Amino acid sequence: MNISKTLITKIQIAERVSELAKQINADYKGQELCVIGILNGSFIFLADLIRELKVDVRVEFMGISSYQDGTESSGKLLITKDLNLNLNMADVLIIEDIVDSGVTAARLVEMLKSRNPRSIKVCSLLNKQSRRVNDFAADYIGFEIENEFVVGYGLDCAGKFRQLKDIGVIEIN
């Protein structure tokens, strides 16, 4: 496996994270925000984003999967790590690394609505609109990308490449 090209540089990422934080700060001014990072891919993005936030934040992580043993979503949401906090009347911001088909994100939002939050929004670093199979739309999007397999800045391929500072396209041989 090789990186065939750099898609988004660390400088572009930092600038966009700052812009997203400004939007989120304006939208939640004076409020406490419950930020939920979806493991494992979102952790670097989440860390950089919350350091730019000026609102009070509580941070929690959740592990979910809709892939089980395949490469395509099964449509069923498996919780591998649940939340340790109560979402009742909380303003929730879900942090995703990438929204691809939209199936997992849509199901997660629906599931979390049953926990009675005041609001739920989704912030995704990357968005692959061309792969969408439903009408799900994230509220905050870092970058629109084409249908390429990307790694770096938390995104991986078989557990590798998460540590890269840039986001690159990978060739799978």
Active site residues: 100
Contact 101, 133 (CB under 8 A): yes
Amino acid, single-letter form, for residue 162:
R
- What is the β-pairing status of strands 119-127 and 140-144? parallel
Token look-up 């109560």 returns 86
CA angle 48–49–52, rounded 5-degree value = 95
Report d(CA 109, CA 134) in Å as an integer: 14
